[in-house]
């Protein structure tokens, strides 16, 4: 009897341990770890995308796995310039365009603007005109370049060449447009919006904006959720997706939310750290000296010509080889281009990115300062944060920009650029109430945080403390055109004649990489230069990046490590 009792106790213990083990390793995909309730049940309750695997690369993008690298100049520092002193930085994983944004890509943007905001209408004219690249950048007082002035942007012969004549501000606006168009297509392909609405039903007052859709989906497409199809027929722009397992409508409206994982993060300009890390492409080399920053170019080696037996002597990038030598002697030694070259004309680096040296230099997101403050931050370094929040109406809803509420920024060049489009959520700076008791930031504008280069200012005062214009931290030129107009409404133009000590200001941005106009010295990814954000040249283009959400590595990479 005692044996049976002991055996039963032992068996109970074994079963209990087994059940406990099963419970500990239980798959919680369909049940909540917090409450044990069913997730995504037919009876209702909490709905969540438990089948999400990982972010997919958006159109044109390739994956760049993040890591640690030495940012800054590590060799051939012939200028002894301290603005790119080596610092160790860590960059999170992200995605980047495999090529520069091309003329064809930018023309698609212009075509969309022309259709949705016809420049023939007075209230829309400056939207289109503000986005058109400056083709006059090709002119030279002692050169004949009218062929590029007239043809480079629009002629199909240059369709796959990198777009130039684009200011930093224009590049940012293109990135915003691209975000909305990609996500708009994802919703259509998923059956969440009317098929073809992005082509047939969108007008100035019914444009799609990603953040508007996520924050106030009923106001997406200008709040116009029903489009007449002729006669008594009509179809919702935002289709009803609330159905049962058999496809029968259950009533109500289902909208995609962030937690569904369907919409992609924004297309944007890469930060300086991201761009330099991606260009250096250390991932393909297992060498200690290279890891410590001893890699000179995006490719392996110390020279600009290929050492491969089959391609020996071929140039690896499009750059100016010497005075008056933009392409080499015609024939086998030529680099294939005198101005820009067609994208993918040269081999990609180890991340699969083309032309990270030469062809065109590229805008990055950062405001330029002579120092990279790694003492304060060495993770995802970026200078240029200006924090905003959604504008809220009196009834608590977000304020969506209307057709008659378009606001324009007047650039130093006198050009008008739309600050927001109809359908966007209006933005306002964060206030002291928003930052009360915060330790990580206190103001909306953080561009000047810890940038105290004393030699740049006679008085060494902040912008807020300066008694007059000459006492600013960076005593750079100012122009009267912004906000100043004459009696006819035309912006007044005027040059700054005051004594200045620097060209650095909050309105100058970093650009990276050598171009077709530059010598080999500038092909080093560590080199950094700056240019006014509202001006353009014939040698600066750009490419987009996108943040990665979730794991640092792709599934294949994670499996390989395991």
Q: What whole-number distance in Å separates Cα of residue 17 and Cα of residue 212?
A: 52
94: closest CA among 64, 132, 127?
64
Domain ranges of the chain: 61-452+506-547, 469-505
Torsion angles phi and psi, residue 116, rounded to 5:
-85, -35
- What CATH number does the domain located at 61-452+506-547 have? 3.90.1580.10
Dmax (CA) for the chain in angstroms is 111
d(CA 444, CA 347): 42
Regions of the chain short of the pLDDT cut 70: 1-27, 76-77, 223-236, 239-253, 284-294, 309, 331-333, 452-473, 480-492, 556-562
Q: How much is the pLDDT for 269? A: 98
pLDDT value for 66: 95
Residues 6+ apart with CB under 8 A from 303: none
CA 89 – CA 85 distance, rounded (Å): 12
pLDDT at site 371: 86
pTM over 0.85: yes
Q: What is the pLDDT of residue 103?
A: 98
Q: What does the pLDDT read at residue 7?
A: 58
pLDDT of residue 1: 52
Report the alpha-carbon distance of residue 27 to residue 183 in Å, rounded.
32
pLDDT for 204 equals 86
Reference 536, options 17, 16, 76, 162; nearest CA is 162
Render the burial of 427-458: b for 16+ CB within 10 Å, e for the rest. Answer: beebeeeeeeeeeeeebbebbbbebeeeebbe
Q: What is the pLDDT of residue 482?
A: 52
């Amino acid at each position: 009897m005692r044996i049976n009792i002991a055996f039963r106790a032992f068996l109970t213990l074994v079963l209990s341990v087994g059940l406990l083990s099963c419970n500990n390793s239980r798959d919680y995909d369909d049940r909540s770890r917090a409450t044990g309730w069913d997730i995504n049940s037919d009876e209702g309750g909490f709905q969540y995308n438990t089948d999400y695997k990982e972010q997919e690369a958006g159109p044109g993008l390739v994956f760049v796995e993040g890591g640690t690298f030495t940012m800054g100049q590590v060799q051939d520092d012939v200028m002894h310039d301290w603005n790119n002193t080596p610092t160790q930085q860590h960059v999170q994983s992200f995605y980047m365009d495999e090529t520069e944004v091309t003329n064809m890509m930018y023309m698609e943007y212009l075509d969309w603007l022309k259709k949705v905001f016809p420049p023939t209408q007075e209230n829309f004219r400056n939207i289109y005109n503000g986005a058109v690249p400056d083709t006059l950048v090709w002119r030279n007082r002692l050169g004949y370049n009218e062929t590029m002035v007239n043809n480079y942007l629009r002629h199909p012969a240059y369709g796959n060449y990198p777009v130039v004549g684009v200011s930093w501000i224009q590049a940012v606006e293109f990135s915003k447009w691209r975000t909305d168009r990609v996500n708009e297509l994802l919703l259509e392909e998923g059956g969440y919006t009317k098929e073809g609405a992005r082509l047939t039903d969108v007008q100035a007052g019914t444009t799609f904006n990603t953040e508007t859709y996520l924050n106030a989906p009923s106001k997406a497409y200008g709040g116009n959720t029903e489009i007449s199809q002729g006669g008594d027929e009509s179809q919702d722009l935002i289709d009803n997706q609330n159905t049962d397992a058999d496809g029968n409508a259950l009533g109500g409206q289902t909208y995609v939310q962030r937690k569904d994982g369907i919409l992609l993060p924004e297309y944007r300009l890469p930060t300086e750290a991201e761009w330099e890390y991606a260009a250096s492409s250390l991932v393909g080399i297992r060498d200690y000296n290279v890891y410590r920053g001893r890699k000179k170019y995006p490719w392996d080696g110390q020279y600009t010509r290929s050492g491969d037996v089959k391609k020996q002597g071929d140039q690896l990038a499009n750059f100016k080889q010497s005075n008056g030598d933009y392409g080499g002697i015609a024939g086998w030694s030529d680099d294939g281009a005198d101005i820009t070259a067609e994208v993918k004309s040269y081999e990609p680096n180890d991340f699969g990115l083309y032309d990270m040296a030469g062809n065109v230099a590229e805008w990055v997101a950062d405001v330029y300062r002579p120092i990279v403050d790694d003492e304060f931050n060495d993770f995802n370094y970026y200078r240029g944060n200006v924090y905003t929040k959604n504008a809220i109406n009196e009834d608590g809803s977000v304020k969506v920009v209307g057709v008659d509420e378009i606001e324009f920024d007047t650039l130093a060049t006198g050009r008008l650029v739309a600050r927001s489009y109809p359908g966007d959520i209006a933005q306002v700076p964060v206030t002291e109430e928003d930052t009360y008791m915060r330790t990580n930031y206190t103001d909306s504008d953080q561009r000047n945080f810890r940038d105290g280069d004393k030699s740049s200012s006679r008085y060494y005062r902040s912008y807020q403390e300066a008694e007059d214009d000459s006492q600013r931290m960076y005593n750079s030129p100012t122009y009267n055109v912004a906000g100043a107009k004459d009696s006819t409404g035309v912006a007044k133009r005027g040059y700054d004649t005051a004594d200045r000590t620097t060209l650095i200001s909050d309105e100058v941005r970093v650009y990276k990489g050598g171009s077709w106009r530059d010598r080999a010295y500038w092909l080093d990814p560590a080199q950094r230069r700056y240019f006014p954000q509202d001006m353009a040249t014939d040698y600066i283009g750009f490419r987009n990046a996108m943040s990665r959400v979730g794991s640092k590595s792709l599934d294949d990479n994670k499996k390989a490590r395991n």
